[in-house]
Amino acid sequence: MRLYLYILLSFLSICLLNSAFAQTRVWFDHPAKQWEEALPIGNGRLGAMVYGGVEEEELQFNEETLWTDGPRNYNKKGASKYLQSIRNLLDQGQQKEAESLAMREFMGLKSESEDPSAWLEKIGKIREQKHGPFQVVFDDSKWPLIVVPHYEGWENLGLEGLDGAVWFRYEFNLSKNQLSERWSLDLNKIRTNDYTYINGKLVGQSAGDDTRRLYQIPKELLREGRNSIAIQVINLEGKGGVAGYKDTKQSIGLKSASGKIISLNGHWRYYIQDQNIPKIGSFQASYQPFGTLNLKFNHKETKNYSRILDLDKGEVCVNYDASGIHYKRTYFASYPQNFIGIRLEADQKKKITFRLAMNTKHQRAKLDRLNKSSIRLEVWVKNGAMRGTAFLQLKLKGGQVSYTGNELVVQQADEAQIYLTAATNFKSYQELNDQYSAVALDRFKDLCKLDFDKLYELHQKDYQQLHHRFEIDFGDGSQLDTIPIDRRLQRAVMLDDPGLLALYVQYARYLQIAASRPGSQPMNLQGIWNPSLEPSWGSKYTTNINLEMNYWPTEALNLSELQQPLFQMIRDLHMAGAETAKEYYAARGWVLHHNTDLWRGTAPINSSNHGIWPTGGAWLVRHLWEHYRYTQDIHFLKEYYPIIKDATLFFKDFLVKDKATEWLVSSPSNSPENGGLVKGPTMDHQIIRSLFDIFNQSSKLLDADNLLRDSIIKMRNQIAPNQVGQYGQLQEWLTDLDDPENKHRHVSHLWGLFPGDEINMIRTPQLVEAAKRSLVLRGDEGTGWSLAWKINFWARLKDAQHAYHMVKMLLRPAGKGGGSYPNLFDAHPPFQIDGNFGGASGIIEMLLQSQTDGIELLPALPVEIGTGKVKGIKSRGDFQISMEWKDSQLLAVTVESLSGEELHLRYQDHEVKIKTKRGESYAFDKELILKK
Ligand code: FUC
């Protein structure tokens, strides 16, 4: 009876759409058809995506330390021998030469590679056979079908994790008329090498993902009627297959001199010739999925379906009625006990019947049964040092459980509870732990002794002490909560939905709580959620914007301690990056280039035209400093001071005097991913000035290193300044090279406007104008994170309506450009979590800014959110603020002083400065007059 009442009440609470629920849920009225519709849960270590299927439920899960490769050295010894030559070439304007020298001598080491020649020779033999698959007459009728082309790789079409040699075959017809023309074969891109045959004859072979395949077909080769094409594709890493065109409207096929096209898009036959490939080195490692829980039910016709991410409770619930019974499933990820919990309930007894399996995409895996109701899944990451183990325990109220065909079969239970844990052999970036599995098993056994309901309560308490610190409301958007999120996003394209902006901010907070907890890894490009063995950019940590953006709003959103994983990573990078500083620059201190991974690679990767960018570490130091500014925690500053100092020492050694201008410049480097290897990109100088300022201020606060400080102050003033160029723009480079047509997604040279603050209205109004000009020239379009960055820029420029326009762009349903997926995940595309946090940061920048002169309230408030309130927002100086506004005017504000520092508040023309006492609250009216 109690159970029934409980279910009824919780179901009713979902249906009662009162305003208290306004910004507290993201929901769908159907199960997820694709991963980007599934709903995320997480506890910093374990992450899972809930599809909520009725007949077949899938819970795709991750453990944040399951990556490819293993601990290793990333640094090329003695690379610094080439530093001067690279600099000289750049001085002489020989960029291409500098890039090729750097590519040869200045990049990081790849992981272990084997010589592929023997394997290539082996798989090449088939091309010499008399009856090989390239011949016209060949029986391929048993080969499976696959859609060709597949721009995003064969991985997306069921061949995930496949690297090797694969044959593709297809037939097409030609008429007599068509034979009179000259034809070439246009396949555009192939990943990576191909041998292409028409009617049994090789017409072309090429290598490389970016090579265009346009092969001439000798006229005599084609015939009236049936013709055949066969391609051997060899792909040893990354996405594979006949990629064709990104623009899917363009087909691959035969093209005639007169412009006619015979499309070869269609279902081709394929055959995996060999996938046991030699080891291929990679610059850095990739984040890996772990596995899935698959639950099968006998429920068919359902009514009243809902799948709800409840931001207030930190859980996902699936509700529906089938055959007159109400079913409810609850999913949560507990941080205190590090496990994922699932509860299955029904409003009648004995109605919980299902089958449960654990699966994985990893080729090498083992499933076994631990006891009557628990199973274990072990996985080995291909060609790597990593393995992981997941444990699952079922507890039932009533009913029976049995085990058949690798599945746990539950029959006629009143309720089922599932405990899921996972662990890997990761110990630190330098070490693996061979004993991990026994320890994990003991932990699991202890966990399963604990009462599920109690664990659920502990989870809620833990989650809510973070979540409840902050509230936000943009007017009365509550009625829109009746619209499922996918439709609400569609609707918001045309109609304003201020409540959706507030929801976006709370969702970002939810994602941070779910993905970044003390003791966990920092959030990678996908937070902790990744279903793919070959995720884009390895789902690692890109530091020329993405990793930092993940943590932009953390302090203001009152989640300060969630930056701890980032700080722990900075500690690791301080160690790992010292060797890179020495080997590449013969410099003291530590350096980080534009990417890192679980194993803390710090050397340049990918390509010399964008991988050599030495300011990643200096940017991360800004997060240490901002944490200090927000918390005023001097012990923290003291603890991290050696890292700040060592980053400073690196640049003291690294900066060089530019002969032409006499300024100190950063060389070699690049303005992230735009314009190749150069000396003196503007962004670097802004970041290094910020670093030097941080060093100066913190050494002063800690009364340390006076002499070094003097020399750093001197150097700081010799660094190349921000310059205004011929179009009135802020120059991206040392020389005025900016192309006004350049729409590049990165807007690196505006770093000094946001997240930096040296470009500001108070001290550098001309630079503000120039930054604005650059932003206008760059245009609004961009990838998800680029749109999100632009919200922050426009908010800093106090152009509220332009900032709002950018928010709308970020919220548009994912398509070609950046936007949002149905589950509100940011679309680069593909999914990349940075935009969720950059977007939330931008919305916060509209409400409050505290980077320069005191705390400014509602500095860039768009009319669409002209009425609202926020509670528990944090500012620099360690103040906690609550305020309310109506019709674009402030009504009242209360400031709680957590530091006892002087409070300087500004709103429009009003300004107040008062001394505060730690722990006291101060209430002000709309003119900032202190209420007694
Ligand atoms: C940088 C960006 C890309 C992408 C990648 C992860 O390289 O330029 O757009 O976000 O990081």
pLDDT digits (tens, 9 = 90+) for 864-874: 999 999 999 99
Q: How far apart are CA 48 and CA 43, in angstroms?
A: 9
Q: Residue 878: how many CB atoms within 10 A of its CB?
A: 21
pLDDT score of 15 more than 80: no
Percent of the chain surpassing pLDDT 70: 97
Mean per-residue pLDDT for 655-681? 97
Mean per-residue pLDDT for 439-456? 98
Ligand 1 site-directed mutation target among 542, 606, 613, most atoms within 8 Å of CB: 542
Residue 501 near residue 824 (C-beta atoms within 8 A): no
Query: In this predicted model, what pLDDT tens digit does every residue of 824-837 receive, in sequence order?
Result: 999 999 999 999 99
Q: Residue 864's pLDDT is what?
A: 96
Ramachandran region, residue 802 (left: φ > 0; alpha: ψ -120 to 50; beta: rest): alpha
Beta-carbon-side half-sphere exposure of residue 491 (alpha carbons within 13 Å)? 14
Q: How far apart are CA 104 and CA 86, in angstroms?
A: 11
CA–CA distance from 268 to each of 138, 156, 201, 241 (Å)? Answer: 14, 15, 19, 12
Mean per-residue pLDDT for 851-859? 97
Query: What structural domains does the chain harbor?
Result: 17-69+285-468 (2.70.98.50), 117-274 (2.60.120.260), 854-932 (2.60.40.1180)
Residue 500 near residue 810 (C-beta atoms within 8 A): no
Q: Residue 478's pLDDT is what?
A: 63
Mean per-residue pLDDT for 500-517? 97
Mean per-residue pLDDT for 425-435? 97
Structure tokens that stand for 211 in this block? 């090579």
Query: In this predicted model, what pLDDT tens digit does every residue of 79-124 receive, in sequence order?
Result: 999 999 999 999 999 999 999 999 999 999 999 999 999 999 999 9
Residues 6+ apart with CB under 8 A from 309: 25, 26, 27, 39, 40, 41, 315, 316, 510
Residue nearest atom 8 in ligand 1 by C-alpha distance: 673
Residue 477 pLDDT level (bands cut at 50, 70, 90): low
Q: Residue 3's pLDDT is what?
A: 45
Q: Residue 298's pLDDT is what?
A: 93
Pocket of ligand 1 (CB under 6 A): 525, 537, 542, 546, 673, 745-746, 783, 785, 828, 832
Residue 641 near residue 698 (C-beta atoms within 8 A): yes
Q: Residue 141: how many CB atoms within 10 A of its CB?
A: 6
| Residue-averaged pLDDT of the chain | 95
- Give the atom of ligand 1 at the shortest distance from the alpha carbon of 536: 6
Beta-carbon-side half-sphere exposure of residue 912 (alpha carbons within 13 Å)? 19
- Give the atom of ligand 1 at the shortest distance from the alpha carbon of 544: 1
Query: In this predicted model, what pLDDT tens digit does every residue of 882-929 receive, in sequence order?
Result: 999 999 999 999 999 999 999 999 999 999 999 999 999 999 999 999
Ligand 1 site-directed mutation target among 743, 787, 832, most atoms within 8 Å of CB: 832
- Give the atom of ligand 1 at the shortest distance from the alpha carbon of 594: 7
Residue written as tokens 């152009």?
799
Query: In this predicted model, what pLDDT tens digit does every residue of 546-563 receive, in sequence order?
Result: 999 999 999 999 999 999
Distance from residue 243's CA to the centre of ligand 1 (Å): 21
Residue 9 pLDDT level (bands cut at 50, 70, 90): very low
Mean per-residue pLDDT for 676-684? 98
Distance from residue 45's CA to the centre of ligand 1 (Å): 24
Read off the DSSP letter of residue 692: H
Q: Residue 10's pLDDT is what?
A: 42
Query: In this predicted model, what pLDDT tens digit does every residue of 33-91 receive, in sequence order?
Result: 999 999 999 999 999 999 999 999 999 999 999 999 999 999 999 999 999 999 999 99
Query: In this predicted model, what pLDDT tens digit does every residue of 305-352 receive, in sequence order?
Result: 999 999 999 999 999 999 999 999 999 999 999 999 999 999 999 999
Query: In this predicted model, what pLDDT tens digit does every residue of 874-887 receive, in sequence order?
Result: 999 999 999 999 99
Q: Residue 817: how many CB atoms within 10 A of its CB?
A: 18
Distance from residue 809's CA to the centre of ligand 1 (Å): 19
Short-list 274, 275, 244, 246, CA closest to 261: 244
Query: In this predicted model, what pLDDT tens digit does every residue of 256-279 receive, in sequence order?
Result: 999 999 999 999 999 999 999 999
Residue 300 pLDDT level (bands cut at 50, 70, 90): confident
Query: In this predicted model, what pLDDT tens digit does every residue of 723-774 receive, in sequence order?
Result: 999 999 999 999 999 999 999 999 999 999 999 999 999 999 999 999 999 9
Distance from residue 625's CA to the centre of ligand 1 (Å): 25
- Give the atom of ligand 1 at the shortest distance from the alpha carbon of 537: 6
Distance from residue 836's CA to the centre of ligand 1 (Å): 15
Residue nearest atom 11 in ligand 1 by C-alpha distance: 542
Query: In this predicted model, what pLDDT tens digit does every residue of 135-190 receive, in sequence order?
Result: 999 999 999 999 999 998 998 898 988 999 999 999 999 999 999 999 999 999 99
Query: SS3 for 727-787, per residue?
Result: CCCECCCCCCCCCCCCCCCCCHHHCCCCCCCCCCCCCCHHHHHHHHHHHHHHCCCCCHHHH
Q: Residue 23's pLDDT is what?
A: 63
- Give the atom of ligand 1 at the shortest distance from the alpha carbon of 783: 9
Residue 815 pLDDT level (bands cut at 50, 70, 90): confident
pLDDT score of 18 more than 70: no
Distance from residue 542's CA to the centre of ligand 1 (Å): 7
Distance from residue 37's CA to the centre of ligand 1 (Å): 23
Distance from residue 605's CA to the centre of ligand 1 (Å): 13
